[in-house]
Structure 1
Amino acid sequence: MSSREETFPIARAIAVDEIGLSFGILGAVRLKSVYQPIFARLGETLVPVAMSAAVRIESGGKPAPDDVLSTLTPEERALLPRIGRRLAVRNLAHIGCEEPDFDLILGLSGDAEALRAEADALLGEAASAGLGKGRICFDLSGLAEADAFGPLAAELERMGASYALDLETAGKLGGGSGVGTAPSVVRIPAAWTRRIVGEADLLRVLRLLVATLKGRGAAAQIEGLEDAAQLRAAIAAGADRMQGDFLAPPALAGTDFDDSPRALAKLIGGPANVVPLTA
């Protein structure tokens, strides 16, 4: 099945509003793009460099209740995440700041063969939207077939895209090193962040882990930051990228977004270079 044939139902389910934002239509629900910024350290500040995407399912302008979602057919439910990914690419230019220029992390999960076709279609969509292939990073943590990881990762590399893995998947797959390619980003999800910050020994291990990832050419992305203590821990570990509601919560595409640098001293309540390795 070609990418064009495979994506036709998705194209048919997408409309554009009066200000240029794309949204999805499936039965009684509307699908909208939600983004959460990812920050990198620049001197004594944090600056937004990328966005992770999700899809908001609405009915009547509000989050859709379960009884509305239950009216969707199995085929429509299967389309939900795929439409969400397409919307995320289309709407990236509509993040509410003067000159949005962010990379995009898109989670892919399911059958590897179908994912190859979808990745190709998404990169084509990115090109149509004026986004370079290098700005799209596919998160392969949810890949259904571990033995298909190597060929898919190599194919993404051939296409000019990069990929990310969460910490657990990277450990299972050896960080990708066994297949001739490596992730550009290794994600430390929120559940791991909460556990690590609560134990001093794990904080020391985190610093070693981040150094190891950097040595392999991967950026360490610590997620789920909820307060200044967790941010201090992430900085102390040398994390390349950070994300969490403490820095900026998820927001709908088109919502005003402050992309100015955030002063670390203000965020952590003290000098940015005084960052203890204890909880």
Structure 2
Amino acid sequence: MSGQSIPRPAAATIVVDEVGLETGVYGAYRLRTVYQPIFRVASDFLMPEGLEASVLPLLNFRPIERHEFLASVDLDAQADVLSLCNLMHIGNRRHARHDNLSLHVPFGHSLLCEEVALEHLALTFARLAEAGFPPRSLVCSVPNFETCDLNVLERILAVLGAAGAGLAVEGFGVNTQAIEAIKRFQPRIVSVDGSWFRRVSDVSAALRLMRQVIESLKNGGAEVLVKGLESPAHLLAALTVGADLVQGELLARPEEAGSIVDVRPLDIGRIFRDPETVVVSLT
């Protein structure tokens, strides 16, 4: 299969190597899939729940920042390139060797809020079927809704819901419009921004308020994912405010597709036996 190309979308292509690993090609860039595990809080353990996919752009074989790569993509090609990345993430999922886990893929504005969204969503579902994964295994992560065409967005969400795919609202904590969007569109998951959460993780008053907000979100049917955990103190804060799902380099580092992603249950007690743990009290 070396050199074989999957001819979609038109602005870029996917090249498949001899072992079936997929790489995106856009001009001089090579695009790789990276997965980071997401864990569910279950009593004394963190149980593997999903894999979050992201793109690792390479230029002259050197990694560059995602925002730097996207800034170099022509505006009229961005939807195609982002869609191609998601198709690549789905195709590479079998190399992660954890077919039972959900797959979280990023759906930016152009893939969810504009008229071309239905076309790209159809490509996504076709790719899932081609790879042998059901639509219910997919979670579409969306950074914001406030600039969307609401009529288009509602049609997209209706298609997602009918197929059984999930919706995750990203950026909770830094996106001031998130609460209204959550009330209106009732996502499956609300993701708390990691950099914001780390800043407030040792502020008792902020955590007390956040615990109340999270309880309200959960009463409305959403699960709460806290991202960006880098220390036992961050994990303790996430557990204290009632997170359902957690993610971060403390628990598992992102790995390129083709690497063996080590996704095993984690003993919470072992994490907290780190002598540097800082206890955050909400009393």
- With the length of structure 1 as denominator, give the TM-score of the two structures: 0.84
Q: Is the 8 A contact 2:31 2:57 kept in 1?
A: yes
1:212 and 2:216 are equivalent in the alignment: yes
Q: Tell me which of 115, 118, 131 is aligned to 1:116.
A: 118
Supply the distance in 1 between the matched residues of 2:80 and 2:134 (Cα, whole angstroms).
25
1:133 paired residue among 132, 135, 155: 135
Which of 148, 170, 180 is 1:145 aligned to?
A: 148
CA distance in 1 between counterparts of 2:211 and 2:191 reads: 14
Using the TM superposition, give the Cα deviation of residue 278 of structure 1 relative to its aligned residue in structure 2, in angstroms: 4.7
1:170 and 1:69, CA in 2 relative to 1: closer, same or farther beyond 3 A? closer
| Percent of residue pairs bearing the same amino acid type | 26
**For residues 139 and 69 of structure 2, what CA distance do their matches in structure 1 show?**
32
**Distance change (3 Å), C-alpha of 1:18 and 1:209:** same
Partner of 2:263: 259
Distance 2:214 2:13 in 1: 42
Aligned length: 264
> 1:3 — aligned with what?
none
RMSD: 2.9
Residue aligning to 1:16: 16
Amino acid at match of 2:124: L
The equivalent residue for 2:4 is none
Whole-Å separation in 2 of the counterparts to 1:34 and 1:206: 30
Runs of 5+ consecutive residues of structure 2 not aligned to the other structure? 1-6
Q: CA 1:151–1:45 in structure 2 vs 1: closer, same or farther (change >3 Å)?
A: same
Q: Deviations over 1:151-198 (max 9, x none)?
A: 33223212332211132343132x1x44xx510000101132123313
Letter in 2 for 1:37: P
Query: TM-score with structure 2 length normalisation?
Result: 0.83
Q: Give runs of ≥4 in structure 1 deviating > 6 Å.
A: 65-72
Report deviation, 1:259.
1.5
Alignment match, 1:87: 88
2:70 and 2:168 map into 1 onto residues whose CA distance is 30
Letter in 1 for 2:240: A
Match runs of 1:124-203 below 5 Å: 124-143=126-145, 144-145=147-148, 147-148=150-151, 149-166=153-170, 167=172, 168=175, 169-173=177-181, 175=182, 177-178=183-184, 181-203=185-207
Q: Displacement of 1:242 after TM fit?
A: 0.3
- Which has the higher mean CA deviation after the structures are superposed, 103-112 or 148-157? 148-157
